[in-house]
Amino acid sequence: MGKRHVIISCVLLISAVPGPALPRDAVQRTLSRIDWSAVRQDQERAGATTHDAVRKFLDSAPEGLGDVKLPVLILGGAGDWGAPRFRGQGTAYVVIYTLERAKLSILGSSSKLIAPGDLALEHEPSAFELIGDGADYSFTRYQAAYTLRLACDDPLKDEHCTDPQYLTNAANSLIVAGGRP
C-alpha cells in the first residue's frame, strides 16, 4: 500500500471515529438592565400618597435593603398589611407579609436566564397560576422579574388563593420602597 493510500485511510478512520461530545449551548444567567428613569417617574407620580407605607417599611430597618440593585416593591394600597419581613441579597429580594390565614410574599429578581435556541418552555407563562398551597402572580416591571406568592391555610376554599383578581389588585398596589442602580 502506498503512502497516499495510508494517509487517505487514516483520514477516513479519523473522520469515522466519534470524537469527544461537544457541550450543548448552556443556559446563561444575565442581569436585566433596570429602567431607573421609569422608577423615578413612578415615585414622583406617587408622591405623598405612598409616603406612609414607605416610611413604615424603612422604619423596620430592612436587612440588606441598601445592597439590592433592583426596585424593591412593597404593598402600598389600602389595607392593614402590617410591617413586612424583608431579606435582600444583591440581585434579588423577598418581602413577606403575614395575613390572617395566609402569607403573601413579593419576590424580585434582576437576573434572567437566556436559554439556547433548542430549549423550549413546556407551557406559555401566565400572570396567575395556582400552586399547591395557593397561587403565584408573575410579571415584569422596570425590566425586573417579580412574583407575588400567596400561601393560604385552606388554598382550595380561600377566595384569595382561587380568585386571580386578589393578586392582580395586590400587584397594582405595589410601590417602590428602595433599591439602587
Q: Model confidence over 25-57: pLDDT tens digits?
A: 677 778 889 999 999 999 999 877 788 888 888
In this prediction, residue 7 has a pLDDT band, given cuts at 50, 70 and 90, of very low
Is the pLDDT assigned to residue 9 strictly greater than 50? no
The single-letter code of the amino acid at 30 is T
pLDDT of residue 124: 57
Is the pLDDT assigned to residue 24 strictly greater than 60? no
More confident residue, 43 or 12: 43
What Cα–Cα distance (Å) separates residue 49 from each residue in 43, 44, 67, 74, 89? 10, 10, 26, 14, 28
65-103: pLDDT as tens digits: 999 999 999 998 666 667 789 999 999 999 999 988 899
DSSP result, 30-68: EE----HHHHHHHHHHHGGGGHHHHHHHHHT--BTGGG-
Closest CA to 56 of 89, 82, 88, 25: 82
Name the burial class of residue 93, with classes exposed (0-12), middle (13-18) and buried (19+) by CB atoms within 10 angstroms of its CB.
Answer: buried
CA 165, 168, 170, 172 torsion: positive or negative? Answer: negative
pLDDT of residue 19: 46
Instruction: Please give the grid coordinates belonging to residue 135.
Output: 397561587
Helices (H), the chain: 3-16, 36-46, 51-59, 159-162, 164-172
Dist. CA 71–CA 141, nearest whole Å: 9
132-157: pLDDT as tens digits: 899 999 999 999 999 999 999 998 88
Provide φ and ψ at 151, rounded to 5°.
-110, 125
Is the pLDDT assigned to residue 3 strictly greater than 60? no
CA 167, 172, 177, 180 torsion: positive or negative? Answer: positive
pLDDT of residue 122: 58
Residues 106-125, mean pLDDT to the nearest whole number: 73
More confident residue, 158 or 19: 158
CB contact burial 149-167 (16+ within 10 A = b; e otherwise): bbbbeebeebebbeeeebb
